[in-house]
């Protein structure tokens, strides 16, 4: 009898047993997986539908927003097959569970059927309300378009001097009704805000003319934090006051905005504070320096304003009687004031930006036809009357371009807005610069001279 070695016997017996156990486990697990997962795989299916080419953008939406929302809402995956050049449709594949596919297909077909009912509606809106309707960087108009599911555009070809601008809305009648209602709300908000400002500013007294120094003497040092004349849109009209005039190419505006109301409150607070003798003693100045920002009392209305010292001061034997040249940073005019009428400005009175915005009329020059010539006094007075200088009557301003500021100017480096001004009571669409030309008080700026001005600006 043959005897097997013990190790070989173990291997001979164990190997078949191991194979049987492994095969059993394999078939058992395979059956179990089929039971668990196969029915689920069977539930996932897809459907293909044809979408007219002119409806593709509607279904997909801006940046794919619509198709993403449909996928999230229905828990499906949707994609489009590449279309042949001669086809007037594209195949849309919807993948998911049966009920989800049906819902997604229903939403898509409903959107396409709605497109057949798309109409175009045009409405005129006040030019002055366009800024609020459009919003900063177009935020408001995009929000209205998204909420109403309409396509909305504001006409940019409308003359900026026109009191109205055309808004075009495309969508179904119900969608247009929503968009129109939201636009009307923005117009009402703008009107309400303007009414509040007008009521707050109605108490302003006309600003009495003080001695203005045009370009003579030493200019002030540079100062920060001036208000800027920046339209919301390239062709937006801004509502402004003309607060001071040197000549038609050198004057100052104030924006009609909440900051104008803040300025009136600031003047009232400064006046109330500096009228108290103990406060005047606390902020008394024995000397001032060129460019220093101070509080200054004006005799005509006995109010206190923010001012900037211009040039070097020559002190008299009686120091308090020394005369100082002061530029009013919120209004743009200048005057000689006694040192006794100047006080140190409390730090918190500097929180508001200086409101005087230096500007120039665009497209005109002195009637002599020479840019370097000074404007005659008669023309300056005519221009002051035409823009209601210091009378706080609103006029419209349109920024046309910017030009380089003179190097000797107090705000060297900051470009000067060149504007067209429109009187709401004057001829519609005719700017005040053109009216000066028509009266023979100015000449049109020649294209070549205007070009040279722009080249100078680019060099600076």
Tens of pLDDT, residue by residue over 373-403, are 899 999 999 999 999 999 889 899 999 998 8
Q: How far apart are CA 393 and CA 241, in angstroms?
A: 6
When mean pLDDT is compared over 24-28, 293-297, 371-375, the highest value belongs to 293-297
- Check residue 328 and give its pLDDT: 94
The answer to whether the beta carbons of residues 442 and 248 sit under 8 Å apart is yes
| Residue 122 main-chain phi, psi, to 5 deg | -115, 140
Reported CATH class of domain 238-256+356-444: mainly beta
CATH fold label, 259-350: SH3 type barrels. (2.30.30)
Read off the DSSP letter of residue 354: B
Q: How far apart are CA 338 and CA 297, in angstroms?
A: 9
Element (H, E) at 91: strand 89-96
Report the chain's mean pLDDT, rounded to a whole number.
Answer: 80
- Check residue 161 and give its pLDDT: 64
CA atoms within 13 A on the CB side of 208: 8
Q: How far apart are CA 304 and CA 343, in angstroms?
A: 10
Q: How far apart are CA 72 and CA 103, in angstroms?
A: 12
Tokens of 200: 């707050």
Q: How far apart are CA 254 and CA 239, in angstroms?
A: 9
Identical fold for domains 45-116 and 259-350, yes or no, is: no
In the block, tokens 């020394």 appear at: 322
Q: How far apart are CA 424 and CA 241, in angstroms?
A: 12
The answer to whether the beta carbons of residues 177 and 119 sit under 8 Å apart is no
The answer to whether the beta carbons of residues 310 and 354 sit under 8 Å apart is no
So where are the chain's domains? 45-116, 119-202, 238-256+356-444, 259-350
Pairing of strands 357-361, 395-403: unpaired
Q: What is the mean pLDDT of residues 264-278?
A: 94
Query: What are the C-alpha distances in Å from 103 to residues 100, 238, 323?
Result: 5, 50, 84
| Residue 76 main-chain phi, psi, to 5 deg | -125, 170
Tell me the per-residue pLDDT of 57-83, one tens digit each, with 9 for 90 and over: 778 877 788 888 899 999 999 988 887
- Check residue 14 and give its pLDDT: 64
**The domain 45-116 belongs to what CATH superfamily?**
K Homology domain, type 1 (3.30.1370.10)
Q: How far apart are CA 347 and CA 293, in angstroms?
A: 10
| Residue 78 main-chain phi, psi, to 5 deg | -130, 130
CATH fold label, 119-202: Ribosomal Protein S8; Chain: A, domain 1 (3.30.1370)
Farthest CA pair distance, the chain: 145
- Check residue 221 and give its pLDDT: 43
The answer to whether the beta carbons of residues 293 and 316 sit under 8 Å apart is no
Return all residues near 199 (Cβ < 8 A) that are at least 6 apart. Answer: none
Q: How far apart are CA 206 and CA 232, in angstroms?
A: 29
Choose among 400, 340, 404: nearest CA to 364.
400
- Check residue 154 and give its pLDDT: 87
Q: How far apart are CA 263 and CA 207, in angstroms?
A: 14
- Check residue 451 and give its pLDDT: 52
| Residue 189 main-chain phi, psi, to 5 deg | -60, -40
pLDDT at 357 over 90: yes
Q: How far apart are CA 337 and CA 220, in angstroms?
A: 15
| Residue 175 main-chain phi, psi, to 5 deg | -65, -40
Tell me the per-residue pLDDT of 426-437, one tens digit each, with 9 for 90 and over: 777 789 999 999
Q: How far apart are CA 311 and CA 326, in angstroms?
A: 9
The model's confidence at residue 343, banded by pLDDT at 50, 70 and 90, is very high
Between residues 174 and 387, the one the model is more confident about:
387
Give percent above pLDDT 90 in the chain: 32
3-class SS of residue 346: coil
Q: What is the mean pLDDT of residues 123-145?
A: 85
Cβ neighbours, 10 Å, residue 46: 13
């Amino acid at each position: 009898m043959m005897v097997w070695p013990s190790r070989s016997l173990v291997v001979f017996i164990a190997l078949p047993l191991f194979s049987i156990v492994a095969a059993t486990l394999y078939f058992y697990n395979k059956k179990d997986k089929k039971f668990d997962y196969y029915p689920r795989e069977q539930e996932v299916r897809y459907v293909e539908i044809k979408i007219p080419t002119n409806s593709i953008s509607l279904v997909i939406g801006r940046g794919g927003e619509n198709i993403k929302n449909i996928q999230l809402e229905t828990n499906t995956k949707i994609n489009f097959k590449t279309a042949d050049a001669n086809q007037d449709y594209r195949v849309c594949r919807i993948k998911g569970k049966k009920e989800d596919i049906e819902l997604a297909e229903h939403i898509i077909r409903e959107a396409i059927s709605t497109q057949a009912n798309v109409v175009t509606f045009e409405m005129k809106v006040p030019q002055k309300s366009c800024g609020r309707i459009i919003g900063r960087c177009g935020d408001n108009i995009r929000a209205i378009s998204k909420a109403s599911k309409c396509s909305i555009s504001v006409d940019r070809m409308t003359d900026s001097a026109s009191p109205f601008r055309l808004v075009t809305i495309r969508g179904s009648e119900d969608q247009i009704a929503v968009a129109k209602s939201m636009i009307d709300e923005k117009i009402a908000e703008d009107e309400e805000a303007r009414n509040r400002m007008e009521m707050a500013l109605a108490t302003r007294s006309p600003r009495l003319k003080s001695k203005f120094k045009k370009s003579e003497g030493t200019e002030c040092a540079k100062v920060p934090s001036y208000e800027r004349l920046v339209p919301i849109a390239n062709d937006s009209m801004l509502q402004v006051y003309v607060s001071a005039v040197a000549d038609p190419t050198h004057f100052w505006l104030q924006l009609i905005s909440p900051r104008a109301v803040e300025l009136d409150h600031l003047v009232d607070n400064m006046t109330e504070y500096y009228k108290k003798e103990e406060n005047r003693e606390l902020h008394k100045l024995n000397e001032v320096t060129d460019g220093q920002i101070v509080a200054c009392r004006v005799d005509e209305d006995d109010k206190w304003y923010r001012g900037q010292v211009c040039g070097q001061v020559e002190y008299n034997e009686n120091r308090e009687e020394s005369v100082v040249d002061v530029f009013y940073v919120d209004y743009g005019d200048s005057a000689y004031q006694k040192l006794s009428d100047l006080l140190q400005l409390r730090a918190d009175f500097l929180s508001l930006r200086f409101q005087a915005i230096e500007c120039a009329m665009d497209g005109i020059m002195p009637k002599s036809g020479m840019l370097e010539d000074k404007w005659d006094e008669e023309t300056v007075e005519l221009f002051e009357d035409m823009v209601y200088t210091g009378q706080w009557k609103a006029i419209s301003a349109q920024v046309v371009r910017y030009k380089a500021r003179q190097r000797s100017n107090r705000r060297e480096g900051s470009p000067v807005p060149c504007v067209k001004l429109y009187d709401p009571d004057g001829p519609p669409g005719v700017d005040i610069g053109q009216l000066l030309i028509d009266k023979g008080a100015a000449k049109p700026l020649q294209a070549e001279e205007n070009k040279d001005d722009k080249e100078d600006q680019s060099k600076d």
